[in-house]
Structure 1
Amino acid sequence: MSDMSHTQAGHCVGHSKVDKTAKNAIESTQGWISGDITYTEVRIRLVDQRSGLERVNAKSGLVEVLWGSEWRSVCDDYWTYEAANVVCRQLRFLGFGATPILRGFFNADEPERYWLDDVKCEGYESSLFDCPHRGWGVDNCGQTERAGVQCLNESDIDVRIADDGDIFYLSGAVELRMGNEWRSLCCNHWTSEDAKVACRELGHSAEGAITIEAKAENGTNYWFDHVNCDGDEENLSACTYLRSTECKKGVRAGVTCLAAPSSGAFEN
């Protein structure tokens, strides 16, 4: 374990974590009132990029919003990974690992109409309608600026450890598969709550889970630099993330897990 070290204050756990509950409890009413009319039915869906028809239970498509009685598009100005994560979470897919689709369009006889433009999400919002925007029906977008998303579900995610342990413990860098690609997690904001969830998902005991720093090799690629678990989740896919392909600290997040009692690893 020459390339591993226990986490100290100022390293992996040196930053305060975001309070998800507090953030999600903030309710925004921006845009819900137009003139003397208050709209109570606001929905979101994905539509096919070619036909414009709704894609029920599909993981990808262009985003449309129902406000009042009319479906309109969302403009892709300021459309980011954070906004895509919010949309996917709202559609009951995973709230991380989503990919934004830009410049979406489909052939239509009428000019495109948008409900939302300049949507600026932080990534923790429970609804796209909690994110700041220009105002309902206010936009400066053209026919080919429709925003879309590519979402993930649990079958698209897997976790493994670059193992440096033995039969009594598992220790190493945490690696996450999204789609067909394995990448590391950055050590920034990596805490004992995150380590507990990683160990639990891997079939080891969550009790006694320890965060460690794992040395990054040349060319190491990262998915996220901010994992935010409460500690009682069954898997890392239930936690929230901030997406980043960079890691300023240059250290991978890792864990040391004790073998689960049921594994028989402690038997003589």
Structure 2
Amino acid sequence: MAPVGCVRFASWLTCLLAVLQLNSCYGQAPVSVRLVNGPSPNEGRVEILYNDQWNTICDDKWNNGEAEVVCRQLGYGTDNVTPRSLAYYGEGSGPIQRVECYGWEDSWESCTVSSGNSSCGHYEDAGVRCEAPISVRLVNGPSPNEGRVEILYNDKWNTICDDKWNYGEAEVVCRQLGYGTDNVTPRSLAYYGEGSGPIQRVECWGWEDSWESCTVSSGNSSCGHYEDAGVRCGTDVSTTLDPFQWPATTTDYYGGIYNVQLVNGPSPSEGRVEIWYNGQWNTICDDNWNLEEAQVVCRHLGYSTDKVVAWSSAFYGQGSGPIQHIQCSGWESNLGSCSLTSGDSICGHNEDAGVTCGYTNTGITNRTTTYRTSPRVIGSMSFVGVSLFLLTIIAVVAVVFVCSQQKISPSAAMGMQQLTTPTTNPAPHPASTMPMPAPVCVDVPV
């Protein structure tokens, strides 16, 4: 028989091991959301782990707020988030859920979840493109699209040695930054000044989407900062990426990158459609301007695509500058996915296109601030408005009742005065010579 001390020690050790195992289990937070079938880790079809299986999300309530919550939960930034609809990343399988968020939540579990199986199909599976972490930058250039190339490597900013720095490498950097790859100019010999820190060699084929897909090797032993590489990117936006990742209406973030605005309308959700293209604002010819194109514009700007109206013949007045043709299928999430051709030779500004978007704004985002009106907030405001209206009716009825009581017969009034006259002596204060004002009542028609 084992000594009592050994038994107690064994029991204590068993308990300790059990506690450690329990802590290790709880310390591993289960993954409850994932992005599937996207071209990069920061985008794809959204799937949530719900009732012990992976569910897709219906796009009926899928707006900027919900997309931002998913990106935040996955550790991505919430600027330049692009919600996707209509199975943009392919159809999933299994149950379908509806998710409604305000936009400030840390995880989808804090949002409202309801079944979407009865009213949604997998052709409506929602997706998202989150803000990719910044891993490359252009430094010390005269404009945002040029400068010394620096990459975030091993948690430090590194410069690039110009030994292997050619057009292929320069095009990859410009493509990753969202610039066009036409008229790219690689620079060598510290053209934009010498940097500091580690130096890397980067070798690319030229078709890659990011420098991370290229071959990277140390250049510290054979390169100096007098060989720091630079680049001047093209001013036209690349059409292989999503150039309209900023659904802002009037920001001019980088020269040459598309934006879209609605001009001369009575409200922010309607007006003449203008796009920023080739460094200036262009109007849209109404020759191919139909409901499909108008819906894409509204979706791009964050407005609802319900009750969209496409206007022609310069309904919101004539613009100026170049004119473009745009043709869309209607499912696109932004104008960058549509076909764009010049309309200068066959269109005049008397044909400038316009649009009236749906009343629900799902989030107009510029590069610094996000404005979003949640449907729940709208519902709360409506409830407050109805409540104030009912209180006003009650107050009017109360005034009518009080005034009618003051118009009773003189005998009844005298009786009420006798009932209300105090029998005790008044307090020894000098009586005021100012008569008390009588209440003023008006006849309110009922």
TM-score bracket, shorter-length normalisation = 0.3 to 0.5
The two structures have a TM-score, normalised by structure 1, of: 0.41
User: Which structure shows the higher strand fraction?
Assistant: 1
Give the alignment's TM-score, normalised by structure 2: 0.26
Larger helix proportion, structure 1 or 2? Answer: 2
